[in-house]
Structure 1
Amino acid sequence: MPKVSEAYKKEKKKKLIQAAKTVFIRKGYVQTSMQDIMNEAGISRGAMYSYFDNIDHLFMEVLKEDDYDNMQFFEASDDELLWPQLKQWFEMQQEAIENTHQSLVQAKAEFFLSSNYVKHAEDFPYISQRYNEMTRLIEEVLNWGVYKKEFQLQQPADTIARYIISFINGLMLDTFQLGNEQTKVKEQLSILLFSLENIVCPHAADKE
């Protein structure tokens, strides 16, 4: 049997993660099986299990990939004002939460509410890591805004970052359970932005 290169394995794994993401978006976390993903990817059971141990392992990899794209947004540009960038990020969150059929919101909500995660949270260290990493990234943007004299924070940066994450996560779960018409995602995020504007205090020239 010819030896498979590391580059090939890395690319193959990436394609499997993308196939899994497609299925998780379509079916959610609870209804998705390893067989569903094998069918989507057109791969054998043996090949699939050579990359991933089980559905939870695979979902964590999908989550990491999705988080990477999200976190890349916080690589703030030195040449751009930070407040408009933050508002753009909230617009992205709104779109994802409102359009659950086109995002991982349903799968994420089902996973976090699943008995397996609730009972064995310690088996999923990445969940804590992603929270800490997202907190750090938002905190860095806020502190960078202070350094550039764009922001005048009224609360500690890490507290503001945790407030944002808790709000978004809570809105995501509520909208999954109750629907956008009841949770009014756009209106709630508008209020969040209003409150943040008073907490972050971007200069008037930076608000447009």
Structure 2
Amino acid sequence: MPKVKPEHAERKKAEIVEAAKRVCNRKPVYEVAMRDIVLESGMSQGGVYKYFANIDEVFVFILNEETLTSSMKEKADAIFQSKETPVKKLDNFLHVIGQHITSSITTDGSIYYELISLYSKDPQRLETVKGQLNEVSNLQYLQTSFAIFLAEQIENGMFKTTMQKEEVLSLIEVYMTGLLHQPDLSLKASDEINVQISKQINVLSTALQKLLAGE
């Protein structure tokens, strides 16, 4: 049997992944099955399974496309290392996350965030793919950096709130998830999406500033 050239294999894998993304943009990721991807790709079942043994391997491939980039790390680090006030750092950081969401919506919609949610709600399933995932994603770095910043500001008394740090982080996560699942958002032009997300980030920032001021 002739050996498959690496470039041919990579091209086929890319085609399958793009088919998977199209399916994920039409239906919730938790409902997506390998059969959906096979049909969408136009390949035979054996052709798809030659490159991906199961749905989790496809999802892991998509998640690994979001590996932490140096530019994102530098942007986040610069905010927290700046001499701005904690409130200004909070606002700047939320807008970085907003920009990241806008970028995600205009490329692959909310697929990445839906996958993160899928695995976070199923620890056993996450454990089975953990070893295949790249160490840190852009989103994970942003979340971790913000959690550390928030804890430090609450501890030193710069932020005052009756809520636990975890509750504040959960509130932000719920809000961000809502941004991603707005009806027909991904169908709008990129500049419209940017304006809409920016306005909604401003609302979140104002609410958090009041919350963390003890109001």
Classify the TM-score, shorter chain: 0.5 to 0.7
| SS of corresponding position for 2:25 | helix
Specify whether residues 73 and 186 from structure 1 end up closer, same or farther in structure 2 by C-alpha distance, changes over 3 A only: same
Change (3 A) 1:136 1:155: farther
State how 1:60-71 maps to structure 2 within 5 Å. 60-65=60-65, 67-68=66-67, 71=69
Code of the aligned partner of 1:93: I
Cα separation, 2, equivalents of 1:12 and 1:128? 21
Query: How far, CA to CA, are the matches of 1:39 and 1:96 in structure 2?
Result: 25
Choose the corresponding residue for 1:91, options 92, 99, 118.
Answer: 99
RMSD: 5.0
Alignment of 1:91-130 (within 5 A): 91-93=99-101, 102-104=109-111, 107-108=114-115, 111-112=118-119, 117-125=122-130
- What amino acid is the match of 1:39? L
> Which segments of 5 or more consecutive residues in structure 2 lack a partner in the other structure?
83-88, 146-151, 156-165, 184-195
Which of 164, 171, 189 matches 2:201? 189
Say if 1:94 and 1:189, in contact at 8 Å, map to a contact too: no
Kindly provide the amino acid, as one letter, of the partner of residue 189 in structure 1: I
- Asked whether the equivalents of residues 13 and 51 of structure 1 are also in contact (C-alpha less than 8 Å), the reply is yes
Query: Structure 1's 96 and 4: CA in aligned 2 closer, same or farther, altered over 3 A?
Result: closer
TM-score, with length taken from structure 2: 0.53
TM-score normalised by length of structure 1 = 0.55
1:53 pairs with 2:58: no
Decide whether the 8 Å contact of 2:95 with 2:198 is kept in 1.
no
Task: Say which of 171, 174, 177 aligns to 1:170.
Answer: 174
Instruction: Structure 1: give runs of 5+ residues left out of the alignment.
Output: 141-152, 157-161, 200-208
| 1:23-81 Cα deviation digits (max 9, x unpaired) | 1121121222212111211111112111111112211212222x24x74751658xx99
- Tell me the distance in 1 between the aligned counterparts of 2:114 and 2:138: 21
Please say if residues 98 and 198 of structure 2, whose CA atoms lie closer than 8 Å, have aligned partners that are also in contact: no
